[in-house]
């Protein structure tokens, strides 16, 4: 009987993890949708391998928003890879750093980030 209870508890634990991961992916996708609207691009462009400044800025903004929402870098990497873009942890860290610099220099960036955060819900 104890073994059945332990298996059931483990099953519930796995279900909780799956649900949390799905919620994080939903948040990630909502951030992507808000950011690509802001930058006037489509998902294909956002998830392309191009390194044009506006595309990189859009990706870095998503990284920043996700990290601020306590989504781990490894999870962001997986979500990006699920959409065809392979990135490294240092790319995410660098992107977050760059957004923090922009926040210090540009008040409008704070407003943009606040508006995106308010529009994303789970």
Name the pTM for this structure: 0.85
What's the average model confidence in pLDDT over 10-34?
A: 76
Q: Has residue 53 got a pLDDT over 70? A: yes
* CB 90, CB 52: distance < 8 Å: no
CATH of 25-119, one of 3.30.450.20, 3.40.50.150, 1.10.1750.10, 1.10.357.10: 1.10.1750.10
Q: Has residue 16 got a pLDDT over 90? A: no
Q: What percent of the chain has pLDDT over 70?
A: 82
Convert the pLDDT of each residue in 92-110 to its tens digit.
Answer: 999 999 999 999 999 898 9
Q: Strands (DSSP E) along 23-115, which ranges?
A: none
Give the residue extent of every domain in the chain: 25-119
Indicate the pLDDT class of residue 64, thresholds 50, 70 and 90: very high
Provide the terminal-to-terminal Cα distance of the chain, rounded to the nearest Å. 37
Distance CA 20, CA 103 (A): 29
* CB 121, CB 25: distance < 8 Å: no
């Amino acid at each position: 009987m104890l073994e059945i209870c332990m298996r059931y508890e483990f099953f519930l634990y796995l279900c909780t993890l799956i649900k949390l991961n799905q919620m994080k992916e939903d948040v990630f996708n909502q951030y992507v949708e808000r950011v690509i609207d802001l930058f006037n691009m489509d998902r294909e462009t956002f998830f392309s391998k191009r390194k044009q400044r506006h595309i990189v800025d859009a990706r870095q903004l998503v990284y920043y928003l996700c990290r601020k929402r306590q989504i781990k870098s490894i999870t962001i990497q997986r979500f990006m890879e699920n959409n065809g873009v392979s990135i490294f942890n240092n790319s995410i860290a660098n992107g977050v750093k760059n957004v923090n610099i922009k926040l210090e220099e540009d008040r409008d960036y704070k407003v943009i980030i606040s508006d995106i955060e308010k529009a994303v819900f789970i």
